[in-house]
Amino acid sequence: MMGITSVFAKASNEEDAIVRHYAKFMNVSDSMLHIPELYITIHEWIGTPYRYGRSDKKGTDCSGFVRNVFLSLCGEKLPRSASDMSKVIQSKPKEELTEGDLIFFNFRGRSNSHVGIYLQKGWFVHASIYRGVTLNNLHTPYYTRYFSKGGSLKQGELKDLMPQPLKACEEIPPVNPLTPIHINYINSPPPTPTLNLKQ
């Protein structure tokens, strides 16, 4: 998997507010939302009506929505149908699902006929036939009944957007918020400059 070597500048106040909104909605701390770009992207789609066979913001089906999110965030061109998407994931138990995983449901007697993107604490985003792009929870009886499988993409995972663990240091040094934070240190980071109060 391709890793990322830096974290981009801090999001705008509006983007921060969007991330906080979804954290509050799912009853988790902001720090648990490891891919803020995911929430900013799905926020642009929330409320888009369901339209079978379409994949734009005037109307989309479930696979069209998921495909657009992955294409926008990491350039990953997923198969067009939910059934075909289910063939390119590494399955994992429901309790091990993590942010950015794909989840599938068997609706109307068809295997893996519906797809969504897992978020946190059972919450996932998908294009619902009746409500359009919205959030629901796997722990509700309806979705528990029809849940089929879930897992990470075998290649090019959305989680490639997440910062990788620091090497040879314990903390990221304080930096200007507008400066990218480089996290691929080989040696320990440079010491934090001290303020000289002498005139």
Neighbours of 132 (CB within 10 A): 18
Catalytic residue among 21, 62, 169, 182, which? 62
Q: What span, in angstroms and rounded, lies between the C-alpha atoms of 87 and 79?
A: 9
Our answer to whether residue 126 is catalytic in this structure is yes
Q: 């295997």: which residue's tokens? A: 111
Our answer to whether residue 169 is catalytic in this structure is no
Catalytic residue among 21, 43, 114, 182, which? 114
Q: What span, in angstroms and rounded, lies between the C-alpha atoms of 117 and 101?
A: 6
Catalytic residue among 34, 43, 74, 126, which? 126
Contacts of 82 (CB under 8 A, 6+ apart): 62, 63, 66, 104, 112, 113, 114, 115
Kindly provide the residue ranges of all beta strands, DSSP E only, lying in the chain, ordered along the sequence.
6-7, 55-56, 59-60, 89-91, 102-107, 110-118, 123-128, 132-137, 147-153, 181-182
Name the residue type at position 15. E
Which residues belong to the active site? 62, 114, 126
